[in-house]
Chain A
Amino acid sequence: MSIEIRNIHKRFGDFTALDNVNLTVESGELVALLGPSGCGKTTLLRIIAGLETPDAGRVLFGGEDATHTHVSERQVGFVFQHYALFRHMTVFDNVAFGLSVRPRKVRPSKEEIRDKVMKLLKLVQLDWLADAYPGQLSGGQRQRIALARSLAVEPKVLLLDEPFGALDAKVRKDLRRWLRELHDEIHVTSVFVTHDQEEALEVSDRVVVMDHGRIEQVGAPDDIYEHPASPFVTQFLGDVNLFHGRVDGAHLTIGDYAHPLAAPPGEGQALAYVRPHDLIVSRAADDALASGTVEHIHAVGPLVRIEVATGDGQTLEAVLAKEVFRELAILPGESVFLKPRKVSVFLADGDYSI
């Protein structure tokens, strides 16, 4: 079931949570709403669910207007950051409940409910916990039960609000992969909210980056990462080094350094972003964008992170592979030169809203 968001506006008092948001989620897609807190991503998700009413605009499910359909009739599955399991019921009853309170005419028989619940508990690999109460489970287990519960009513769309936000790093990573696999298996149209760019990029088919109640960019994870459409998206998707320069013709100039641009954004003052792994560290001064003194070296793991203090008080960050680092044999306190492999350039006074 596809979801269409048309011209949605939402205010809370003086605060604009959503400012003319348009988005289409294709049937069977897994889409991430990514952005910092307060960007409107959760509000948008709750409006899709019907837990919140938009001030203006429409929500369409499979082409049909659902804007005024009550949440209990929208047939959405909703997974909450803090699980919201029914604490006074066993795991089995939690999952079964959406089915067992249905009107008699459309209610499956006791045996059917039992089979279905056990099947779902097997799907989330927790069938052995059927008789436990939510209070007896770990966070990761609770969230998997919450997912099984939302799937029991065969939702047309599955909505997840920071589903792994309250879990520790290891469990979060496991569940991420597991959600991806689950989605590949059942193919229900899914939207999930996260502020973790790694999570969004790893799990989803498409990422919607939001800020200040607006959509900044929509695209496939690698597309968004490689071609961020605005300074905000560039900064939000990962660590960056920022340089101020100018675009003249087909060149970006930063001090004495000149970088050819294949597709210049225009002319004028510019912001140039270079990701740490796109900075080449060397001892040779030729073609260098910047130079400085090595301040710190973090050499844990396969990548080595080097902090370089430039003369003008800026600290730049470069990441290189351990082998490259070994060959260079840099020590703290040494002078090094930095050269960009790839630069994302935006005009300083540009308007990048879409």
Chain B
Amino acid sequence: MNWWELFATAGPVLLTGALYTLLFAVAAMVLGLALGFAVALVRVARVPLVSHLAAFYVSAMRGTPLLVQIFVIYYGLPGVGIEFEPVTAGILALTLNVAAYLSESMRGAIAGVEKGQWDAALSLGFTWWQSMRYVVAPQALRLAVPSLSNSLISLIKDTSLVSVITVTELMLATKEVIAQTFQPLPLYLAAAAIYWALSASFERVQKRVEARLERAHRR
């Protein structure tokens, strides 16, 4: 079987897998950004008790392997009566994991906005939330984009780990095709190329966002 024929048979399977990978990545990104922002907020606002819980959550998520987290959620939790579909469990694990990293980037960026911006906003009559929403967060976002992008690109690749809970995303799809065709090199290379293409298109998004946020800082 030459490579053309190989890709003609493997193509549809790999693309379906890639779609799942994309689904996991996008869902975990959106949910992770939201959860990460919430975690960063309660820590910046020093909400009593909740901010300690948030700190514990961040430490636990960053201090344990994603693979273990996926196993705990999919294979462990049913032991206490909580069961998830593989797709749900995958999205949940990726979200919880990436949100911890994202929240730290956001927290750092929020702290990186000058204190004077808060003072100025508050003295103009803004509430704490308005100051955060309209003044601090938009400026923090600009500072956070490079490090947020780091985490999000890692996330795209981390989706390969959910293959261990029987979700036929790109990685598992590739393995299945290899099992039928015994052609590991071209197929793994094809999978790698697809991951890279996904990451590269995300980098383009990052560039656009940066350019947009940079508008006010051009001279």
Contact = CB atoms under 8 A, between A and B. Distances in A.
Our verdict on whether A and B bind, yes or no, reads: yes
Is chain B's interface secondary structure helix, strand, loop, or mixed overall? helix
A49 interface: yes
**Chain A interface size range:** 20 to 34
Interface string A133-159: 111100000000010011001000000
A344 B181 CA distance: 103
Given A97-B134, A135-B216, A135-B219, A72 B127 contact: yes
Interface string A79-102: 010101111111000000110011
Nearest to A70: B122
Given A88-B142, A88-B216, A135-B218, A51 B126 contact: no
A340 interface: no
Contact of A72 (B122, B138, B142, B216): B122
Interface in B72-123: 114, 116-117, 119-123
B183 interface: no
Interface of A: 49-51, 70-78, 80, 82, 84-90, 97-98, 101-102, 133-136, 146, 149-150, 153
A134 B116 CA distance: 15
A72 B218 CA distance: 31
Given A71-B122, A84-B117, A98-B126, 15 more contacts: A70-B122, A71-B123, A72-B125, A72-B127, A84-B116, A84-B120, A86-B117, A86-B121, A86-B135, A87-B216, A88-B216, A97-B124, A101-B125, A136-B218, A136-B219
A98 B125 contact: yes
Contacts of B123: 49-51, 71-72, 74, 76-78, 150
- The prevalent SS among residues of A at the interface is loop
Contact of B216 (A71, A77, A82, A133): A133
A25 to B, nearest CB: 17
A150 B124 contact: yes
A149 B217 contact: no
A133 B217 contact: yes
B125 A149 contact: no
Specify which of A76, A77, A98 lies most central, judged by the most chain B CB atoms within 10 Å of its CB: A98
